[in-house]
Amino acid sequence: MENKTIYCPNCGSKIAASSVFCPKCGQKINVTVSNQTAPNPAGSSQPANHANNGNQYTNQQQPQYSQPTSSQNSNATSAGNDRNTNLYLTFGWICAVISLFLFPIIFGAGGVVFGVLLTKNEQSRNKGTILIVMSVAIGITGFLLGAALNS
C-alpha cells in the first residue's frame, strides 16, 4: 500500500492522505471520492490522460475537498484560544499568589510571563495586563513581607 500525501486545505501542510485532522493546524480534513472519470476523446477505449502536470491521481479517483467555512475556522480557533486563556490565567494567578509567600521574585516573574502570553491575544489583553500588574504588586509585597519577617 502506498503512502499518499495530500495538502491541508487550511494551512497547506503536507499530510498523510488517511489523516482526519491536520497535525499542524488541527483542521478537520473532509475527503470525498468522486466516481467520475474524464471523458474519452474520439471514442477511444483508453481513459483520457490530459496534461496532468504531476497530478498523482492520473487515471484514478480524485478526492474532492470541501473548503471549511469561516465559522468552522473561527470556532476551532476560538476553542483553542479559550483553553489557552483559561490555562494561562490559572497558572498566572497561582504564581502570583505563591509569590506572596515563597520566592517572590521567581513566582512573581512567572505571573508576569503568563500575563504577557495573555496579552498576545486581542480578546484577553485586558486580563493579561491585570495579571502582569497584580503579579508585580503581589511579588513586591511578598518580598517586603519576607524582609520584614526576617528582620
Q: Where are the domains of the chain?
A: 1-68, 71-150
3-state class (DSSP) for residue 52: coil
pLDDT score recorded for residue 37: 43
pLDDT score of 50 more than 50: no
Task: Compute the CA torsion angle 114, 116, 119, 120 (nearest 10 deg).
Answer: -100
Confidence band for 41, pLDDT divided at 50, 70 and 90: very low
- Residue identified by cell 489557552 is 84
User: Is the pLDDT score of 64 beyond 80?
Assistant: no
